[in-house]
Amino acid sequence: MSESGRNRELELLTELCRELIKFRFQVGMSDARPAVFIRDASGGVSWIIALDESGEHFELHHRERRYLVTDTAGAGAAIAAEVWKHAGMSALRP
């Protein structure tokens, strides 16, 4: 991947991190492979989100869901809903 492609990937993942923080998730980013992770209540990583090969979608690996990178706010809200649904929780508003 080119340096400009890598920078774009990191910028998009950073934007997604900011959106997920609005939903009060504990999030971080991986250095090994550019990805965003969401920690569970015990501090373990339970959800990993990365860009797909095309760079056009965020992929939620736990459920293999895809969300457009052109709408990070929408992707963040959809990922939050998926996490809460899986955990059996009702949605929180940012």
Domain spans, the chain = 3-86
24 pLDDT band (50/70/90 cuts)? very high
pLDDT per residue as tens digits for the range 5-18 = 788 999 999 999 99
pLDDT of res. 88: 72
pLDDT of res. 85: 85
Choose among 85, 33, 93: nearest CA to 62: 85
Q: How far apart are CA 4 and CA 46, in angstroms?
A: 29
Q: How far apart are CA 9 and CA 78, in angstroms?
A: 19
